[in-house]
Amino acid sequence: MNYTISEENYLKTIFLLQETEGTVSTNTLAEKLQTKPASVTDMMKKLDAKKLLNYKPYYGFTLSAEGKKIALGIIRRHRLWEYFLCNKLNFGWEEVHLLAEELEHVGNKKLVDRLDAFLGFPSYDPHGDPIPDSKGRVRNIRKIPLHQLPALRPAEVCQVTNQSSEMLELLHHKQIGIGTKLEIKKFFDFDHSLEIKMKNSTITISEQLAQNIFVTYEQDL
Amino acid sequence: MNYTISEENYLKTIFLLQETEGTVSTNTLAEKLQTKPASVTDMMKKLDAKKLLNYKPYYGFTLSAEGKKIALGIIRRHRLWEYFLCNKLNFGWEEVHLLAEELEHVGNKKLVDRLDAFLGFPSYDPHGDPIPDSKGRVRNIRKIPLHQLPALRPAEVCQVTNQSSEMLELLHHKQIGIGTKLEIKKFFDFDHSLEIKMKNSTITISEQLAQNIFVTYEQDL
DNA sequence: TTTAAAATTTAGACAAAGCTAAAAAAATGC
DNA sequence: GCATTTTTTTAGCTTTGTCTAAATTTTAAA
Ligand SMILES: [Mn+2]
Ligand SMILES: [Mn+2]
Ligand SMILES: [Mn+2]
Ligand SMILES: [Mn+2]
């Protein structure tokens, strides 16, 4: 029912790795956690005994339903604290991750739910990652920089980093703003520019510009 | 330079005990920390080796200057988080101590100083205990319920708990309010009532009333 | 399909922090 | 001042989480 800081760090990291990789391997996890493969194996045995893992020796592991539930709780705390640090204590989004790594292990549910309410139930952390709600549910919409959007996926501009006048002039000229709906038609490998289709036009934008435009899109589909 | 959660709990508890007791004994500390005397001795050796203690085996211990500095940092974090929990997350003052016991071990200085600023540099935690500033200085003024005020110590009413109309009627009748200056002349053992001297009068008040009137006073002198 | 390389697990050790039981020192009582 | 009680320390064990080195299993290459 209660987990050590070390166990929590393993659970969280497995969750994040298996989102992209499916099954997680001993070496991959060891590298992410800055530890040794032998230590990972030891911990996997323990988490397996606690039924938090599907573990087949030599063939990697994934989280059980219970393991996922716990991981989502940790991720919720991490991202809520990141949001708090950025939006209440005025930290930059690049500073908050390390601090949240510590705060995420204060696990009291009432505290976390009150913090959530205090912050106005935010949907995304400062890096655009979705914050699970108090029941561990995650919205399927993700916020990413435009150049990471998969091709042909309908999306909507939700944030523009770099607020320089040059940037804003360019956006105005291309008629891009918060709420603009678009989708990527084509990536050009030569200079990593993109062709994007908007409601009434199709235009090309540079990699630098795309990196500073954030969009939301449906995860599945 | 960096201390474990266990070391921090020992340092903080020694600090708080030695404030009232002077030198701290093995058994006293063990009881406060809900551990065994043998464990205390082990830890005292370690803290002594790190030069955080003045430790003479069999004769108890006090914190070194460095030990005090670290303890004040922990106490600062504890009390700031308690303030945050009460005043921002609407916890009752009786709920916050246990939560702060965990949060106090997130030690990043920038985080704590920003939290302090966010809260408006509060001087007291929800229990009336003073919050050390970012340099570890503590104001010498303490807030306590009136019945705990030492006799003949000039003090000032700063808070009235129990806001019932009966209570307020009584305060009005006796001409006591926030800011009233007073000192205790005499304790009566029979019913624990008190005789207090105010600017223009000397009156007697009951124990129940005194328990609900909080006063500030200078610690030393 | 056999062999070499890579990945994973096991074996054995260690440091931190706790415990119990026994020994030693200090305090108390007569 | 000596004996008894209380307090504190020491000795030896346990658990958690880590490590290195060796053994084992899987994978890839020849
Ligand atoms: Mn993060
Ligand atoms: Mn984040
Ligand atoms: Mn407290
Ligand atoms: Mn307090």
Topology adopted by domain B144-220:
SH3 type barrels. (2.30.30)
* Residues on chain A touching B89 (C-beta within 8 angstroms): 111, 114-115, 118
Sole residue written with tokens 């008629």:
A175
Q: How far is the CA of A134 from the C1' of C7 (A)?
A: 39
A102 vs B85, B88, B106: nearest CB:
B106
At residue A204, what are phi and psi to the nearest 5 degrees?
-115, 135
pLDDT tens for each residue of B74-118: 999 999 999 999 999 999 988 999 999 999 999 899 999 999 999
Q: Kindly give the distance from the C-alpha atom of residue A96 to the centroid of ligand 2, in angstroms, as a whole number.
A: 8
Nearest CB to B106: which of A88, A103, A108?
A: A103
Average per-residue pLDDT for chain B: 93
Q: Do B108 and A89 touch (CB under 8 A)?
A: no
Token pair in block for residue A53: 């893992």
Q: Phi, psi (5° rounding) for residue B124?
A: -135, 145
A90, A99, A106: residue with CB nearest B108: A99
B188: DSSP letter: -
Of all nucleotides, the one whose C1′ comes closest to residue A58's CA is C8
CA A195 to each of CA A151, A215, A219, B66: distance values in angstroms, whole numbers, following the listed order: 10, 15, 21, 62
**Domain B5-63 class in CATH:** mainly alpha
DSSP state of B129: P
**pLDDT, tens digit (0-9, with 9 covering 90-100), for B122-162:** 988 988 788 999 999 998 778 899 999 999 999 999 888 88
Q: Which residue has the tokens 């002077």?
A: B22
| Cβ B40 vs Cβ B70: under 8 Å | no
Tell me if A215 sits within 8 A of A146, measured CB to CB.
yes
Chain B positions with Cβ closer than 8 Å to A: 85, 88-91, 99, 102-103, 106, 108, 111, 114-115, 118
Bases on strand C under 7 Å from any protein CB: 7-12, 16-22, 25-27
State the span(s) of chain A assigned CATH 2.30.30.90: 144-220
What pTM, to 2 d.p., does this model score? 0.77
How far, in Å, is the centroid of ligand 2 from the Cα of A79? 5
Question: Min CA distance, B158 vs chain A (Å)?
Answer: 28
Under 8 Å between Cβ of A11 and A75: no
Shortest-distance ligand to the CA of residue A130: 2
Q: What's the confidence (pLDDT) of residue B75?
A: 98
Q: How confident is the model at residue B220 (pLDDT cuts 50, 70, 90)?
A: low
Give the whole-angstrom CA distance, residue A211 versus residue B9. 46
Q: Which of residues 104-163 of B touch strand C (CB under 7 A)?
A: none
Reported for A203-211, long-range contacts at CB under 8 A and 24+ positions apart, including other chains, are A203/A174, A205/A146, A205/A174, A207/A147, A209/A167, A209/A170, A210/A145, A210/A146, A210/A147, A211/A145, A211/A146, A211/A147
Tokens of B194: 């008190």
pLDDT along chain A (221 residues), means of 10: 95 96 96 98 97 96 97 98 97 92 96 98 88 92 88 88 83 87 93 93 93 85 44
Q: Is A164 left (phi over 0), alpha (psi -120 to 50) or beta?
A: beta
Alpha-carbon torsion (B3, B8, B11, B12), positive or negative: positive
Whether B217 has a pLDDT exceeding 80, the answer reads yes
B1 has a pLDDT exceeding 90: no
**Count, residues in chain A:** 221
Specify whether the CB–CB gap between B67 and B14 falls below 8 A. Answer: yes
Distance CA B27, CA B58 (A): 11
All CATH 1.10.10.10 domain ranges of chain A, comma separated, are 5-63
Tell me the chain A residues in contact with residue B84 when contact means C-beta distances shorter than 8 Å.
Answer: none
Concatenated DSSP letters for B206-221? -HHHHHTEEEEEES--
Kindly determine whether residue A89 and residue B111, on different chains, have CB atoms separated by under 8 Å.
yes
In chain B, the residue whose alpha carbon lies closest to the alpha carbon of A116 is B89
